């Protein structure tokens, strides 16, 4: 199982590959500082160009059924 920090790094790299940058992407400071084993990922805010690009990327993704859950 990956840590929340590792997941954020992985997500940031994957988004970069498709031309999307979420400036506020990071580990939620409240849950990250708690005893919770899995902190929340803060996706944050972005401008309309970034939101449009993200929507375009997601619309182009085909989601498989019965995957491995990752």
For the chain, the structural domain boundaries read 4-59
What is the tens place of the pLDDT at every residue in 10-49?
999 999 999 999 999 999 998 888 877 779 999 999 999 9
Q: What is the pLDDT of residue 60?
A: 87
Dist CA 16 CA 47 (whole Å): 16
Report how far apart, in Å, the C-alpha atoms of 10 and of each of 24, 35, 46, 47, 65 are: 15, 23, 19, 22, 22
Dist CA 70 CA 66 (whole Å): 11
Q: What is the pLDDT of residue 16?
A: 93
Judged by DSSP in three states, 27 sits in strand
């Amino acid at each position: 199982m990956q840590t929340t920090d590792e997941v954020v790094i992985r997500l940031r790299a994957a988004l970069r590959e498709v031309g999307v940058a979420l400036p506020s992407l990071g580990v939620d400071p409240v849950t990250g500082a708690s005893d919770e084993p899995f902190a929340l990922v803060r996706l944050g805010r972005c401008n309309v160009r970034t939101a449009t690009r993200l929507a375009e990327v997601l619309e182009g993704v085909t989601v498989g059924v019965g995957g491995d859950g990752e």
